[in-house]
Amino acid sequence: MTTPVAVIVDAAAYAQAVEDAVKASAGYYAGGTSSLDDDAYDRLMRGIAAWEAEHPDQVLPESPTGKVAGGAVEGDVPHTVAMLSLDNVFSPEEFTAWTASLARRIGHQAEQFSVEPKLDGLATAARYTRGRLSRLITRGDGTAGEDVSHAIGTIEGLPSELAEPVTVEVRGEVLMTTAQFEHANEVRTAHGGQLFANPRNAAAGTLRAKDRAYTVPMTFFGYGLLPLPDTDTALAARLGEGAHSDLMAQVAAYGVNTTATTAVPDVTARTAEQVLARVKEIAALRAELPFGIDGIVIKADLAADQQTAGSGSRAPRWAIAYKLPAVEKITRLLEVEWNVGRTGIIAPRGVLEPVEIDGATITYATLHNPADITRRDLRLGDHVMVHRAGDVIPRIEAPVAHLRTGDEQPIAFPEACPRCGAAIDSSEQRWRCENGRNCHLVAALTYAVGRDQLDIEGLGHTRVVQLVEACLVTDLADLFTLTRDQLLRLERMGETSADNLLTAIASAKDRPLSRVPCALGIRGTGRSMSRRIARHFATMDTIRAADAETMQQVDGIGTEKAPSIVAELAELSPLIDKLAAAGVNMIEPGATPPSPTTGDTMDGDSPEATKATKATEATAMPLAGMTVVVTGAMTGPLEKLSRNQMNELIERAGGRSSSSVSKKTTLVVAGEGAGSKRAKAETLGIRLATSDEFATLIADFIG
Ligand code: IVH
């Protein structure tokens, strides 16, 4: 990816560009929202640099080029060694060109590189005196920074005491993990504050804020270690000579957090090809990381190479940032649409001025619920920060409040269901049409008969529309009492199609119980949860007899979900009765209901105790206690299975299926074309199996 350069045509445009960049930079470093997103800022900076290269005699003194933090920040605590920024590259070609220029500078190819995630937070220096954390300083303009020691004690990974009584400076990034960011926004809004636009902003605002009525935690990741004037001479000499990778191991040994404990630990590489392969791996893992990264930092690892390469006023020549495409862009919120889903939930969706994020044009973004709109104080016409990572649905983070013109309009909430006009139940955060599943019956039925639910072949969306419009079906159960004559009255329905459809409907009656809760559209029960409920209770009668506490015995159901599932089951009672009367199977083959002697559902054993008993019962199974991730295309005996069927198989064999690889994963089944999940498994040292090896392992459970 090459970020295009902003074109600057004359001196006036250049002056304006400098002003815009300085202003944006000030917002960025001060913890307010910048008026430009990262991508727009990079383009502007490249444009400014290009113009200055052509007109060296007209460079403005306030120009942000050549300055750390674009010259936008201040501070009065001098750094002992300048705290520099990094130059950027945007493509493999630019990176290879950088390695060549480094080789020219040092007289040979760099022997070894360190390849690290570029953490998206704030550069911070932590000074330790005889092992105690004595001072915390921001990068500032690189030569002096701001004292933010008031934040000591609120930053995870930055201990107040090191494992050794050494006097050193650890440099690194202060950031908020996704969970910390969400928590910070909750606390901030509860105190009447405005939402932070993103974790970086939240960390910047929080780190610099003094005397706040509340504290919210942040996280530190170290990426450098250097001596201070008082450092013991022998240690100072060792630090001066140590390879960067050895220094980072030392930082971790002192007890300071580094990326070593994450899915993207620092690695060393010997060639540009190896570096680029690692860049790809880190990029593939980006969306799943619990913290933001905006690129990969590549450093000459050996101290001698670093010393020979030296540094410029803004950035070292021995390191470079390989920028990844931005996952956030600023665009305008044009409209809010209210759509009714298959369960009757009325969900708002933002219509955006189209914006390209990481190669995709984004026109819609989720807005969760009305309370969320209010909490974010969004208005029509607002400039908003939109976030899109991986294949996740884009979301609006926050309005860029200082770009408001005063013409923005409040967002109107619907007073009646936008689909059927019925009243709205707004008692919960997510609003719901009082007609519930019947409001958008076509969507509810189409989902219920889908491949992973009741799997009725030949009953696609168009047929469902026909059946509903002809009033032949008013709920899911009506499907099972359809007659041949009724079907033949439909347009484009011949005798063969009608017979095939009736056969498909008849065989759907025999699906395992595990397909029923999700087919009913019980909120909070996707395919995998539906299977867990069915396997736990074994019969629909036992499921329906469960109270909220008993429901919590199911793995993954907590105090919040349990009562709502119980309430929905009660709401769906007439429909479940009707389905059972029509002959739909309500039993899970091979499962046994929780019995009174082995952790009863009814006698008051704790939900945790019953979960444990169920787990012990399963130990005879080949996948007992294992968390399995399937990735890539299956071959051999497993070739025809959908992902859902694979997950069902894993669970039948006693395992737990998951879609993402983490430290908790025990086995990754990597089929043909497996990519990032396989790479992550290798990085984390997780056991891998081919499709055939896995088929052998669970042979008794196939079919
Ligand atoms: S090394 C002199 N390593 O990126 C070397 N910086 O855009 C400069 N950053 O100011 C720092 N992750 O705030 C280094 N693994 C990493 C980093 C990293 C994030 C930040 C740092 C720096 C900025 C430059």
CATH number assigned to the domain comprising residue 389: 2.40.50.140
The answer to whether residue 108 sits within a structural domain is yes
User: Are residue 132 and residue 161 in the same domain, yes or no?
Assistant: yes
84 lines ligand 1 (CB under 6 A): yes
223 lines ligand 1 (CB under 6 A): yes
Predicted local confidence at residue 74, as pLDDT: 72
Distance 172 CA to ligand 1 centre (A): 7
The answer to whether residue 265 sits within a structural domain is yes
Predicted local confidence at residue 608, as pLDDT: 59
291 lines ligand 1 (CB under 6 A): no
Amino acid making up residue 258:
T
Is there a contact between 491 and 466 (Cβ–Cβ < 8 Å)?
yes
Last residue of a domain, one of 584, 610, 636: 610
The answer to whether residue 193 sits within a structural domain is yes
Predicted local confidence at residue 602, as pLDDT: 44
The answer to whether residue 423 sits within a structural domain is no
CATH number assigned to the domain comprising residue 23: 1.10.287.610
515 lines ligand 1 (CB under 6 A): no
Rounded-to-integer distance, Cα 599 and Cα 463, Å:
46
Residue nearest to atom 10 of ligand 1 (CA): 85
User: Are residue 494 and residue 567 in the same domain, yes or no?
Assistant: no
User: Is residue 96 classed as helix, strand or coil in its secondary structure?
Assistant: helix
* C-alpha 521 chain-centroid distance: 25
Last residue of a domain, one of 475, 508, 541: 508
Tally of domains in the chain = 6
Predicted local confidence at residue 142, as pLDDT: 92
221 lines ligand 1 (CB under 6 A): no
Annotated catalytic sites, by residue? 118
The answer to whether residue 239 sits within a structural domain is yes
pLDDT digits (tens, 9 = 90+) for 224-244: 999 999 999 999 999 999 999
Two structure tokens written together for 228: 């201070």
CATH number assigned to the domain comprising residue 440: 1.10.150.20
Predicted local confidence at residue 611, as pLDDT: 56
Is there a contact between 221 and 157 (Cβ–Cβ < 8 Å)?
yes
Residue nearest to atom 23 of ligand 1 (CA): 85
321 lines ligand 1 (CB under 6 A): yes
86 lines ligand 1 (CB under 6 A): yes
Two structure tokens written together for 176: 């908020």
Two structure tokens written together for 81: 């060694």
Q: Where are the alpha helices (DSSP H) in 56-113?
A: 92-106
Number of residues that this document lists for the chain: 703
User: Are residue 553 and residue 568 in the same domain, yes or no?
Assistant: yes
Predicted local confidence at residue 597, as pLDDT: 44
- Host domain of residue 525: 515-610
Distance 415 CA to ligand 1 centre (A): 50
Query: Which H, E and C letters describe 346-387, residue by residue?
Result: EEEEEEEEEEEECCEEEEEEECCCHHHHHHHCCEECCEEEEE
| Closest of 523, 451, 459 to residue 493, by C-alpha | 459
Distance 86 CA to ligand 1 centre (A): 6
Q: Which among 120, 173, 320 is the best mutation to test ligand 1's pocket, defined by most ligand atoms within 8 Å of the CB?
A: 173
User: Are residue 99 and residue 232 in the same domain, yes or no?
Assistant: yes
320 lines ligand 1 (CB under 6 A): no
Burial class (CB in 10 A: 0-12, 13-18, 19+), 599: buried
Distance 87 CA to ligand 1 centre (A): 10
The answer to whether residue 228 sits within a structural domain is yes
Distance 466 CA to ligand 1 centre (A): 60
User: Are residue 168 and residue 265 in the same domain, yes or no?
Assistant: yes
Last residue of a domain, one of 264, 294, 323: 323
Residue nearest to atom 18 of ligand 1 (CA): 118
The answer to whether residue 277 sits within a structural domain is yes
pLDDT digits (tens, 9 = 90+) for 411-421: 999 999 999 99
User: Are residue 46 and residue 83 in the same domain, yes or no?
Assistant: no
Per-residue DSSP letters for 36-48? S-HHHHHHHHHHH
- Which atom of ligand 1 sits closest to the CA of residue 122? 13
Two structure tokens written together for 307: 């010393």
> What is the reported pTM?
0.74
CATH number assigned to the domain comprising residue 105: 3.30.470.30
Per-residue DSSP letters for 141-209? TSSEE-B-GGGTTSEET--SB-SS---EEEEEEEE--HHHHHHHHHHHHHTTPPPPSSHHHHHHHHHH-
- Which atom of ligand 1 sits closest to the CA of residue 121? 13
User: Are residue 318 and residue 439 in the same domain, yes or no?
Assistant: no
User: Are residue 306 and residue 343 in the same domain, yes or no?
Assistant: no
User: Are residue 339 and residue 301 in the same domain, yes or no?
Assistant: no
Segments of the chain with pLDDT less than 50: 1-2, 597-603, 616, 618
Distance 185 CA to ligand 1 centre (A): 26
User: Is residue 69 classed as helix, strand or coil in its secondary structure?
Assistant: helix
| Closest of 421, 419, 416, 422 to residue 443, by C-alpha | 419
69 lines ligand 1 (CB under 6 A): no
The answer to whether residue 420 sits within a structural domain is no
Per-residue DSSP letters for 616-681? HHGGGSTTTT-EEEEESB--GGGTT--HHHHHHHHHHTT-EEESS--TT--EEEE-BT--HHHHHH
Distance 142 CA to ligand 1 centre (A): 12
User: Are residue 102 and residue 221 in the same domain, yes or no?
Assistant: yes
User: Are residue 152 and residue 296 in the same domain, yes or no?
Assistant: yes
User: Is residue 392 classed as helix, strand or coil in its secondary structure?
Assistant: coil
Rounded-to-integer distance, Cα 519 and Cα 547, Å:
21
User: Are residue 120 and residue 46 in the same domain, yes or no?
Assistant: no
